[in-house]
Amino acid sequence: MLYFCLGLASAHASIRSEYEVKAAFLYNFTRFVTWSPAENNTTPLEVCVFGDDPFGDLLEPLRGRKSQGRELTLRYPDDVAGLTGCDVLFIGQSQSRSLASVLDIARREGMLTVSDLPDFAFKGGMVGYVKQGNVIRFEINLKAATDAGLTINSRLLELAVRVLR
């Protein structure tokens, strides 16, 4: 299923909007990451968008969907104090200047960090979107994920264009 979803997203990147593809990836990332300590399955999995929201209403279909038995919720924190409780954190372009401090908070809180900021994975983020021609792909910083207590499924690692260890 992952191969189909991610393959479909990659194959249609030129037809679908860039952020439709990125939203599909974001959902799939939640399916192949394990948070530690394992959360109770009745606790929602909170997806947060911090800073600029390039998705518009494209993430709305995620609201209420299940991932690993947990219902997805969406939240848009206004400041770093509002990041507490996020499980997945998409970091928008407007946060590039405060990236180091946001990543530090996310690591301490055990959040999966995702962004399309340039060189995001190299700067300590966990999953960085990269564009290769018209195709959206992603890089994974496995060390950053491990440091935050997250485990990334090997099937997702195989699909990354680069894995930083």
**Please, are residues 62 and 26 in contact by the beta-carbon 8 Å criterion?**
yes
What's the whole-model pTM score? 0.89
Q: What whole-number distance in Å separates Cα of residue 163 and Cα of residue 97?
A: 24
Q: Along the 165 residues of the chain, how does pLDDT read in single tens digits? A: 444 444 444 444 444 699 999 999 999 999 999 997 665 677 999 999 999 999 999 999 999 999 999 999 999 999 999 999 999 999 999 999 999 999 999 999 999 999 999 999 999 999 999 999 989 999 999 999 999 999 999 999 999 999 999
**Please, are residues 50 and 92 in contact by the beta-carbon 8 Å criterion?**
yes
Angle (deg, nearest 10), helices 2-11 and 18-31: 170
Alpha-carbon 14 to chain mean position = 21
